[in-house]
């Protein structure tokens, strides 16, 4: 759990908190846990170091709150159709790995287990995301939108892996265009995947 010390009698400024959270994600994304320091975050955010210690008394608490506030969360959605749900899921993945905090998301997947307090938070978040994604596919099977024999794991591996790899492999000069239209690419990806999964056996490629 994050440990904070609030400044008595002085209301928090949400704009400053957001700026600090983004600075913390940027610093973590650039240098990982080894390069993560309160002084560096304060300098990147343009605030005094004392401002950070009034809000968070450890760098673990600061990073945990920054990850909670700043990373796109992969969550359960129910648009009423499997296609719509999968598009939302793929869009969330593209927003996470093509957005401004993509480096922090990658660092987290590699380093979370070695960061006290943050590892447990990341594991809980990851398991919630997996449950949400699997619930989406199971609803589609229950509604008859997918055959009962469809592999939930393989479908999600293909969709989530495809979205993540597309975001990471997009050239730097095209990343802004992708970030502005993640839903468009998500629809194309889902259209391709569902056609492959639901096409009659023996249908031409």
Residue 129 lies in a domain: yes
Answer whether residue 205 is part of any domain.
no
Q: pLDDT by residue for the chain (205 residues), tens digit each?
A: 344 444 444 556 778 888 999 999 999 999 999 999 999 999 999 999 988 988 898 999 999 999 888 887 777 788 999 999 999 999 999 998 998 889 999 999 889 888 888 888 888 888 888 999 999 999 999 999 999 999 999 999 999 999 999 999 999 899 899 999 999 999 999 999 999 988 776 555 4
User: How much is the pLDDT for 201?
Assistant: 62
- Are 173 and 188 members of one domain? yes
Q: What is the CATH number of the domain that holds 21?
A: 1.10.10.60
- Domain shared by 43 and 113, yes or no: no
Residues 169 and 135 in one domain: yes
Q: Please indicate, yes or no, if residue 148 is contained in any of the structural domains.
A: yes
**Is position 203 within any domain?**
no
Per the structure, the complete domain to which residue 41 belongs is given by 14-69
For residue 95, what is the domain's CATH number? Answer: 1.10.357.10
Q: How far apart are CA 159 and CA 172, in angstroms?
A: 22
pLDDT of residue 7: 45
How many domains does the structure of the chain reveal? 2
In a domain, 91, yes or no: yes
Q: Is 7 contained in some domain?
A: no
pLDDT of res. 76: 77
Residues 46 and 93 in one domain: no
pLDDT, residue 186, reads 96
Looking at the structure, do residues 63 and 136 belong to the same domain, yes or no?
no
pLDDT value of residue 129: 87
Q: Does any domain span residue 194?
A: yes
Residue 95, both tokens: 């927003």
pLDDT the model gives residue 81: 95
In a domain, 55, yes or no: yes
Co-location of 80 and 171 in the same domain: yes
Q: Name the domain boundary from 38, 54, 69.
A: 69
Q: How far apart are CA 78 and CA 62, in angstroms?
A: 33
Residues 113, 56 share a domain: no
Q: How is residue 117 written in tokens? A: 């307090």
């Amino acid at each position: 759990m994050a440990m904070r010390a609030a400044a008595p009698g002085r209301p928090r400024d949400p704009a400053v908190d957001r700026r600090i959270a983004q600075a913390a994600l940027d610093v973590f994304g650039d240098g990982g846990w080894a390069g993560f320091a309160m002084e560096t975050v304060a300098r990147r955010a343009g605030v005094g170091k004392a401002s950070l210690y009034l809000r968070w008394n450890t760098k673990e608490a600061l990073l945990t709150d920054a990850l909670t506030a700043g990373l796109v969360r992969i969550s359960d959605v129910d648009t009423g159709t499997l296609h719509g749900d999968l598009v939302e899921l793929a869009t969330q993945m593209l927003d996470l790995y093509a957005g401004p905090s993509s480096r922090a998301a990658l660092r987290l997947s590699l380093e979370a287990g070695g960061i006290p307090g943050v590892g447990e938070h990341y594991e809980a978040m990851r398991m919630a995301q997996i449950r949400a994604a699997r619930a989406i596919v199971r609803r589609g099977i229950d509604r008859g939108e997918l055959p009962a024999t469809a592999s939930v794991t393989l479908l999600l591996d293909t969709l989530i892996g495809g979205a993540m790899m597309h975001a990471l492999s997009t050239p730097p000069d095209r990343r802004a265009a992708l970030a502005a239209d993640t839903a468009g690419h998500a629809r194309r990806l889902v259209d391709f995947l569902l056609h492959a999964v639901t096409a009659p056996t023996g249908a031409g490629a």
